[in-house]
Amino acid sequence: MFSLDKFAQAKLAGLDARAQRRALAETASAGGAHVARNGRKLISFCSNDYLGLAAHPVIVEAAAAALRDHGLGAGASRLVTGNHPLYGALEERLAGWKCADAAMVFGSGYLANLGTIPALASEGDVIFIDELAHACLYAGARLSRADAVVFPHNDTGALEGLLAAERKRFRYALIVTEGVFSMDGDLAPLPALADIAAAHDAWLLVDDAHGLGTIAKGRGSAFAFGASPVLIPLQTGTLSKALGAYGGYLAASAPVTELLTSRARSFVYATALPSAVIAGATAALEFIAENPDVTEQPLRNARLFTRTLDLPLAASQIVPIVLRDEKRAMAASAALEDAGFLVTAIRPPTVPDGTARLRFAFSALHEEQDVLALAQAVRSRVLAA
């Protein structure tokens, strides 16, 4: 056997021992919130298609029209083949939606952070990053070669203490966090973080992947704290969740986006997105602006679920139930699947050791009876186990 295969098998054995091995399960859309898996129809509570726009006829037709008019692939990066006119419309709308001077679209939300952070920070700089920030934010910080200082989750006092102690040793500083945390569903204290950043001459970067389209009538987490948005100089996110499309973005000032057009490696060296994806995302953003009531339904469903189970009131459309042990989380997921619900077990390293969980993602597609039936199944098959 080749040494590469031996290496892989040894690693797989270790994952098996820790109940952390992943496997793909063929799953097809079955209409609305339903999916088909293993010959059964299940109600999915694990999709990030929070508004059901991935299959919405208006969005699909916009994508189909662009596909007919412009073909499938882009051919090369935007700097090589030229900037497709559909990009300008999407980036202008994104910038306006996020109250930024400009926006730029990347191949994915992961690539947006992977390109933005190293383009702005390097050796001699420092990045203060929330301990529960998404893996792509950590990956961007590592690629930057800046010093990385991890602060306790949403602990503004600890962050301020770290900045007071460390900031003066470095040239530039970034504070990096999420707007809505993808595995816990809580919101970052953005007003306090913005004040701390200003007091210490640090640049605040907020990944709002799970806030766009779901928080504050779809405007995102920066708009959740009052009549005026929190001023955030670097806002990243994705087009693949509430917008139901694909891609990522940075909303920032014009000088910053102009700099990243030349310096963000995941932008410069990546093939542009297909025109159909750009057209679909633009149509989705227009839909959200015209239908703000739809954006409130995921949170209403999440709160119905938490009230029914006497859990802490949901802050967003994401609700975790932490079961700690990986095997228990896997067994709970299987029990819910037996009851007709698809809820994926989330295990380390996606979440910290000892915090394996079920992560429930609520959408505008879920009916009240779906949510109440899920709560009953969780009460009898998970919490009582």
Active-site residues: which are they?
Answer: 48, 134, 178, 182, 207, 210, 241
Question: What is the rounded CA–CA span in Å between residue 50 and residue 156?
Answer: 29
Q: What angle do CA 334, 338, 341 make, to 5 degrees?
A: 85
Helix (H) or strand (E) holding 115: helix 109-120
Contacts of 341 (CB under 8 A, 6+ apart): 42, 43, 44, 45, 373, 374, 377
Beta strands 248-252 and 203-207, pairing class: unpaired
Tokens representing 169 are: 């040793």
Count the neighbouring beta carbons within 10 Å of the beta carbon of residue 201.
11
Question: What is the rounded CA–CA span in Å between residue 7 and residue 182?
Answer: 32
Question: What is the rounded CA–CA span in Å between residue 385 and residue 379?
Answer: 9
Task: Check if the beta carbon of residue 173 is closer than 8 Å to that of residue 127.
Answer: yes
Question: What is the rounded CA–CA span in Å between residue 379 and residue 382?
Answer: 6
Positive/negative CA dihedral, 231, 236, 241, 245: positive
Burial bucket for residue 210 (CB in 10 Å: 0-12, 13-18, 19+): buried
DSSP annotation of 236 reads E
Question: What is the rounded CA–CA span in Å between residue 279 and residue 275?
Answer: 6
Q: Which residues are 37's β-sheet partners? A: 27, 40
Question: What torsion, rounded to 10 degrees, do the Cα atoms 339, 22, 30, 331 define?
Answer: 0
Question: What is the rounded CA–CA span in Å between residue 198 and residue 201?
Answer: 5
